Structure 1
């Protein structure tokens, strides 16, 4: 287990090697889910019936070819929903990673019975959940927003309570649970209550990300940068100092012309138990669809597949991506500021007129 060390952070690899290198693979292992969250970045790909995955031997062979591999993430859908996925894909991948000394993360909504997690979770490094609610009414509205049939409040309450009790039980067993909140016009107003609940569930880390304007979330409004900055500041003031706060794909940069943005960047670098994770997608990570074999830069982007593991080595696909016009547009790097440039969706949403390559960091954050 790791504390305040984030092997998904792409900065160190880029700084040490002088170039971006493939260190992380994310597998989409299911297209099934028992929820339909309004913010879901892959909601339109969710199915009612699962297809057949590619042979496990092929997945492992492609991983064997990546000498620089440091992390594996498993996502969906809800990866734990189908026992066959757990038995034939998740458990073998987690055991492979453990034997190779590779860190692992699994993304789950944690709403299934606790017994569904206990048989394999000892081999997992990070259990990642999403938490954007004040109470069961929020959970009911948000998680069933796009469901194709009516779901009662009582059903939602059962799953909401199951999620919270599971988190408490697993963290007591020593499982590292990281709860992610997506800042939206709704959640940013209630970040204090959301953080309090995450602390009470025993989660060791609270991740804070922008709402990604893709898939189900394409029609949702984004908060302004002023609202985002205010939310981050409020969270820093009230946070539990024992819980690691991780800001992912932060929409503020050390090359900003705004003093407030540069001051915030410096503050986050100096705050204890707080880290900023540069965007890993395309800088050290690729996503592999375990059904089709398609390889993409991110599981919620609009860039077409870059290759397919049936015939392509993942390292070759990554090198192909580094020459892609989009990669060349956004892959800037400021070592003194510990900045690796913007997430593509964040840049398009908040900084469509910026040419990041012509900008220079105006602050340094030390070693």
Structure 2
């Protein structure tokens, strides 16, 4: 075996290679196992909830040569996953040919898992020649019908877009998801919970199941960029929405609760009950321990800047022109913000909060001084 070769297991509720829990619990420390690459700032939508919307442009800059990026990735012996994001990564055929396909081939040669984030509204032919090399095709789904999509997806668009065009894109997204799912592609649909989506989350869950998706991801609305002005759920409302979804979910559709805003060190019994239900009582339900800043960094392929996440407010940590990614990751682990939020409770299977979630919902909590009040068998 080559020094980088890894055995690649099937992604299931028992094995989510993006989850920071595995390395932290097995190694006793965080390691850089995941890199997210922002490969474009172009997008054909301007969603009202977009957490990177202010970075979107009409024309991309000149990217760093892909061979240089691959050499930087090759330095990371612990690398297990690569995520490809934007913007809409598939919008530019040049980006697909010169950046995405080489990244996928590289990952395949190393046995590395890959995810690409796409709105899936482009013609199916734009995906067919290379999508089989992607482990997870991640889409967003926050709509009841085409009217919702029209309002939400073009909420910040500067050009006039007709409802007929929006409806066509909406139907294409759903049909593409069905077709690719039938072809064996792992399609994972993410919904954010907000005052608008929470009442309809079960309906969205049903549609996601009908599209053939393998997984339904549920996250908070991240108050970043375009989404900064949107209303957030209270913790009580969020808890009620999750419980409602669990009570009415499709049993064969994996639910992944990302950046869950509840913790086993809570003094509220309903939080502890929910934590136990998610981790012990339910099948096909998981809560991913936050990868951002625990086992993942984001790289901008135009500037080379390295940050904790593509939608956070932590200043740039380094640049791949002068820093190796492992050096940047060690620098981050020594950062005061990392020290503030990198708590860990083995007995409760918790690695602490997402930074944005903590700042939004728990500004007064000192997480590292708290202890889990529940033990999972």
Which residue of the partner structure matches residue 7 of structure 2?
none
Residues 1:112 and 2:122 aligned together? yes
Q: Deviations over 1:21-77 (max 9, x none)?
A: 100000000000000001101100101111111011111011110000000000000
Decide which of 181, 201, 204 is 2:214's aligned counterpart: 204
Distance apart, 1:228 and its partner CA: 0.5
Q: Provide the C-alpha distance between the structure 1 equivalents of 2:206 and 2:351, rounded to a whole number of angstroms.
A: 31
The SS at the match of 1:194 is helix
Decide which of 254, 257, 268 is 2:278's aligned counterpart: 268
Q: Provide the C-alpha distance between the structure 1 equivalents of 2:271 and 2:316, rounded to a whole number of angstroms.
A: 35
Which residue of the partner structure matches residue 4 of structure 2?
none
Q: How does 1:69-108 map to 2 (within 5 A)?
A: 69-108=79-118
Residues 1:344 and 2:355 aligned together? yes
Distance apart, 1:149 and its partner CA: 1.5
For this pair of structures, how many residues does the alignment match?
366
Which residue of the partner structure matches residue 335 of structure 1?
346
Q: Provide the C-alpha distance between the structure 1 equivalents of 2:290 and 2:167, rounded to a whole number of angstroms.
A: 34
Which residue of the partner structure matches residue 25 of structure 1?
35
Which residue of the partner structure matches residue 179 of structure 2?
169
Distance apart, 1:3 and its partner CA: 2.1
Which residue of the partner structure matches residue 300 of structure 2?
289
Which residue of the partner structure matches residue 12 of structure 2?
3
Q: Deviations over 1:56-101 (max 9, x none)?
A: 1111011110000000000000000000000000000001001100
Measured on the aligned residues, the alpha-carbon RMSD in Å equals 0.6
Q: Deviations over 1:288-328 (max 9, x none)?
A: 00000000001101111100000100000000000101000
The SS at the match of 1:268 is helix
Q: Deviations over 1:308-357 (max 9, x none)?
A: 00010000000000010100000000011010000011001100000001
Decide which of 319, 322, 326 is 1:315's aligned counterpart: 326
Q: Provide the C-alpha distance between the structure 2 equivalents of 1:357 and 1:282, rounded to a whole number of angstroms.
A: 16
Which residue of the partner structure matches residue 278 of structure 1?
289
Residues 1:187 and 2:187 aligned together? no
Q: Provide the C-alpha distance between the structure 2 equivalents of 1:273 and 1:192, rounded to a whole number of angstroms.
A: 16
Residues 1:354 and 2:353 aligned together? no
Q: TM-score, normalised by structure 2?
A: 0.96
Runs of at least 5 residues in structure 1 that lack an aligned partner in the other structure: none
Distance apart, 1:150 and its partner CA: 1.7
Which residue of the partner structure matches residue 59 of structure 2?
49
Moved segments of 4+, more than 4 Å: none
The SS at the match of 1:250 is coil
Q: Provide the C-alpha distance between the structure 2 equivalents of 1:156 and 1:49, rounded to a whole number of angstroms.
A: 22
Q: Provide the C-alpha distance between the structure 1 equivalents of 2:360 and 2:322, rounded to a whole number of angstroms.
A: 35
Which residue of the partner structure matches residue 22 of structure 2?
12
The SS at the match of 2:47 is coil
Runs of at least 5 residues in structure 2 that lack an aligned partner in the other structure: 1-9
Q: Provide the C-alpha distance between the structure 2 equivalents of 1:238 and 1:166, rounded to a whole number of angstroms.
A: 26
Q: Provide the C-alpha distance between the structure 2 equivalents of 1:194 and 1:266, rounded to a whole number of angstroms.
A: 25
Decide which of 301, 306, 309 is 1:298's aligned counterpart: 309
Q: Provide the C-alpha distance between the structure 1 equivalents of 2:155 and 2:91, rounded to a whole number of angstroms.
A: 19
Q: TM-score, normalised by structure 1?
A: 0.99
